[in-house]
Chain A
């Protein structure tokens, strides 16, 4: 079965704390892509990152970093020195060979960053 699990429903942190959002996926395919999207209160999904299954290098973009580990089927997302503007729902998604081009989403993690 192809599935994405985001076990953390809601996380609250104080500004400047680091926070990690977990994503665990299931797929039998050897070729697949993983994505993270941010959904701020305005509702529009904002693309953050795409990673293919053959590239396990971690990636850093400013305060954002991603840790992809095929051994544990995880693609975790860390925000360093969180800010109030990071408050949003974050979705992890999977695109796999047998599923065509559609995205299979996790249920999302609501991140609240408070002053």
Chain B
């Protein structure tokens, strides 16, 4: 079956512009996660969706970052007034979310964002 897909694969924008990043989870996966990976670093958690609610937004770095999810499908991560420090690869993952701890997260290919 299809894996997690993300679009665009690359995005170059000018400082101050808004960007939208899209994630399509694996069909049937109710949990969806956004992570950020800065160059040469590990992944930082941003936000977690269970269905279309977000019980954990603790990783969003500022109020310029927001995310939404439609039902149990597509999610959009929006960054307003982009700054150069927002340049990173944004990775999306999904899991079955059986209700307990430990579900394996499967990752998409990421969106590489470059803010000039």
Contact = CB atoms under 8 A, between A and B. Distances in A.
Contacts of A108: 41-42
Given A43-B89, A102-B33, A104-B45, A95 B56 contact: no
Interface stretch (A45-53, A59-67, A69-77, A78-86): A45-53
Of listed B35, B101, B110, residue having the most chain A CB within 10 A:
B101
A43 B56 CA distance: 25
Of listed A32, A46, A108, residue having the most chain B CB within 10 A:
A108
Interface residues of B, number: 28
B109 A103 contact: no
Nearest to A110: B40
B71 interface: no
A94 B22 CA distance: 26
A37 B108 CA distance: 13
Interface string B78-114: 0000000000010101010100011111111110100
A68 interface: no
A83 to B, nearest CB: 23
B101 A103 contact: no
Nearest to B45: A102
Contacts of A50: 102, 104
Contact of A100 (B55, B91, B95, B104): B55
B109 A102 contact: no
A44 B56 contact: no
Contacts of A42: 109
Given A44-B107, A44-B109, A101 B97 contact: yes
A31 to B, nearest CB: 7
Contact of B101 (A46, A101, A106): A101
Contacts of B41: 107-108
A101 B31 contact: yes
A12 interface: no
Interface of B: 31, 33, 35, 41-45, 48, 55-56, 59, 89, 91, 93, 95, 97, 101-110, 112
